[in-house]
Structure 1
Amino acid sequence: MKTIEVTDLPPVNDRSTVLVIGKFDGLHLGHQQLLQEARAVCGKDEEISVFGFSEHPLWILKGDKDYQKTLSSFQDRRDLLEQAGVDRYYHVYFTKEYAQITPEQFVLEHLGQLTISHIIVGEGFKFGKGRNAGTDGLIELAGRHGIQVTVLPHVTFNSEKVSSTKIRSLVAGGQMEAAQGLLGRPFEITGIVEKGEALGRQLGFPTLNLGEIDEYVQPSPGVYLGVVEVHHDRANAHYYSLISAGYRPTVSGKSFKVEAYLLDFSGDLYGKTVTVKYLRFMRGEENFDGLDALIDQMKQDEKDARAILGLDHTV
């Protein structure tokens, strides 16, 4: 897949393409439906392209901190789109200046740089200055160039619209099973293993400390059952894990950290890229009365995790 960084007009592309437009944060079931439709209408000699925006408009334009964090990093989105069969990803930097583009400029000038046979958007799509144009405006403007527009209805889950906003709320509340239902896969974050204080190793539970994850939505502080995928040049390795996400009050922690204890693993992963996948909330973060109480709880956490997973090794 080719990735094109867009800060103004995208580069001219003469090859016919089916274009899907959206924010694509999380690449949830709704986004997947758009891509499925693109594959269905794409001609034999055509490409599938995605026009995706870098930041949420409510964060850029209104400073709404609920939309500052993301469900998926740029690299996450790139990887997921490539897996979905997308040929070109136009990564559009959404800024206050870009938000001043009129609906006519967006369709006739910006999208006019591409050779589009078909545009696919979701119900409720808004665009242009002040987000004043909707799907009817898109159909009218695209029609001037003979471009067909398909507007897909919202994908629902238990009669509720699937949205990135809803998934953010679920993740922030620690409701990982529900988030997985809307995402179609576990909520996950990818970062680099960095050196920590080695306290886990001293306590008998060596953990990896995940760095470079500040852009992700923070889950409710607590302990989770999950999977850690260790990225290698060839086949990646996967391990069931206990994930601690929070502030570590028992050891006077101040900042939000994500640490993972890999079951049945020994070794050094410093500097490795890993993906932490949250499966299930186990318990909330606690301020224990000393390290002995913390160790006892960690042993119980592992025992509970192994029982859930059906692993016969006992602590």
Structure 2
Amino acid sequence: MRDRPAATGAGHHGPCVVTIGNLDGVHRGHQALLRRCRALAGAEAQVAAVTFEPLPQAFFRPEQPPARLSTVHQKLALLRDAGVDLCWLMRFDHQFATLSAVDFARRVLADTLGASEVVVGGDFRFGHRREGDVERLTALGVELGFGVTVEPPVSGPDGRISSTAIRAALAAGDFAAAEDMLGRPFRMEGHVIAGERLGRDLGYPTANLRIRARPSPLSGIFAVRARVHEGASPGRWLGGVSSIGIRPTVGGREPLLEVHLFDFDGDLYGRRLEVEFVAKLREEARFDTLDALVDQMRADDAAARAILARQEPGSDSNND
């Protein structure tokens, strides 16, 4: 987070203008909340974001957690880039889930953050069993010394922007819709790990990444662009084809993100790779023989090259 002004209000970190939420993906709706926070904070207050890990839905329904749009690392980086001075990352566990609305407002917002204003959406709920709403938060603010600003929802061509809508767009392979709602292309990232080198043996070496934000909103085979990060500096974007899945043909079990970069010959082990998804080619499939798999890989390679070559120069992410 960027340098903070000295704390001059109540609370350990105050005064703060605070927003609260899962903030998964930090999409355009979240960005509107943060812009409002920044405008209200001015030069005198910090902008603080209160967010949760794991996501509450994953805590309450571990057998059916929502797909993740960002890792914790990505979320923190996106919040920093959006102007957040202080991110209060709270562990969502049984103790937190039973915290009352009154205790949350008093302990977190007033006592810890010294909130001068809290910015939320109209459907905001908080506290044990979601007992608190905007009206309750406003009443608590009068008692505890902070105001409440309700930011209207942000809509796109297909309705209100939400993490749920973005997950649905990604699952359908609609990367243009996901990009519109996120305000940027959807990307995954991680450090390249050692694999079994089967891809190299088959003529298609891949960089393997563990999927940190699980479950993934994507599965299948994709045309992608990827870049290697050298310290704080990202390299140039390279075209490629990517697989997200368990690799059933070779008996894989753990979901992996595999990326084959076109016309690239270098050592990527241990380096951070950022992958931008351009188009979905097909679902993952099991092949009866490795020869059949290689034939399909050749077809995927050709399809991905054709898709990437058709991109207009203005939309080419090499311009980032």
TM over 0.5: yes
Residue identity matched to 2:30: H
Residue identity matched to 2:226: V
SS at match of 2:115: strand
User: Aligned partners of 1:159 and 1:280: how far apart in 2?
Assistant: 20
List per-residue Cα deviations over 1:260-301 (Å, max 9, x = no partner).
Answer: 011232100101122222221112223334223322322222
> Do structure 1's residue 77 and structure 2's residue 75 form an aligned pair?
yes
Query: Mapping of 1:271-290 within 5 angstroms?
Result: 271-290=270-289
User: Aligned partners of 1:128 and 1:149: how far apart in 2?
Assistant: 16
User: Aligned partners of 1:260 and 1:30: how far apart in 2?
Assistant: 31
> Do structure 1's residue 109 and structure 2's residue 107 form an aligned pair?
yes
The Cα shift of 1:121 comes to 0.7
1:44 corresponds in structure 2 to: 43
1:54 corresponds in structure 2 to: 53
2:32 corresponds in structure 1 to: 33
Residue identity matched to 2:31: Q
* Counterparts in 2 of 1:291 and 1:62: CA distance versus 1, 3 Å: closer
SS at match of 1:70: coil
1:231 corresponds in structure 2 to: 229
1:8 corresponds in structure 2 to: none
Query: Mapping of 1:1-315 within 5 angstroms?
Result: 1=1, 12-63=11-62, 65-67=64-66, 69-113=67-111, 114-211=113-210, 213-237=211-235, 238-310=237-309
Residue identity matched to 1:83: D
Residue identity matched to 2:139: E
User: Aligned partners of 2:132 and 2:231: how far apart in 1?
Assistant: 46
User: Aligned partners of 2:14 and 2:109: how far apart in 1?
Assistant: 13
User: Aligned partners of 2:60 and 2:99: how far apart in 1?
Assistant: 14
* Counterparts in 2 of 1:168 and 1:139: CA distance versus 1, 3 Å: same
* TM-score, length basis structure 2: 0.87
User: Aligned partners of 1:291 and 1:193: how far apart in 2?
Assistant: 24
* Counterparts in 2 of 1:176 and 1:293: CA distance versus 1, 3 Å: same
1:6 corresponds in structure 2 to: none
List per-residue Cα deviations over 1:84-107 (Å, max 9, x = no partner).
Answer: 111100001111111211111111
Decide whether the 8 Å contact of 1:192 with 1:274 is kept in 2: yes
* Counterparts in 2 of 1:172 and 1:218: CA distance versus 1, 3 Å: farther
The Cα shift of 1:173 comes to 4.1
User: Aligned partners of 2:50 and 2:250: how far apart in 1?
Assistant: 45
SS at match of 1:166: helix
The Cα shift of 1:257 comes to 1.9
User: Aligned partners of 1:159 and 1:123: how far apart in 2?
Assistant: 20
The Cα shift of 1:126 comes to 0.3
Decide whether the 8 Å contact of 1:219 with 1:245 is kept in 2: no
The Cα shift of 1:234 comes to 4.0
Decide whether the 8 Å contact of 1:18 with 1:47 is kept in 2: yes
User: Aligned partners of 2:84 and 2:243: how far apart in 1?
Assistant: 35
* TM-score, length basis structure 1: 0.88
User: Aligned partners of 1:194 and 1:221: how far apart in 2?
Assistant: 19
Residue identity matched to 1:142: G
Decide whether the 8 Å contact of 1:71 with 1:217 is kept in 2: no
SS at match of 1:13: coil
* Counterparts in 2 of 1:273 and 1:17: CA distance versus 1, 3 Å: same
Identity in percent: 37
User: Aligned partners of 1:251 and 1:55: how far apart in 2?
Assistant: 32
List per-residue Cα deviations over 1:142-162 (Å, max 9, x = no partner).
Answer: 122342211112222224222
Q: In angstroms, what is the RMSD of aligned CA positions?
A: 2.2
Equivalences, count: 302
Decide whether the 8 Å contact of 2:207 with 2:268 is kept in 1: yes
Which structure 2 segments of 5+ residues have no match? 4-9, 311-320
The Cα shift of 1:255 comes to 3.1
Which structure 1 segments of 5+ residues have no match? 4-10
* Counterparts in 2 of 1:236 and 1:199: CA distance versus 1, 3 Å: same
Decide whether the 8 Å contact of 1:225 with 1:241 is kept in 2: yes
* Counterparts in 2 of 1:268 and 1:14: CA distance versus 1, 3 Å: closer
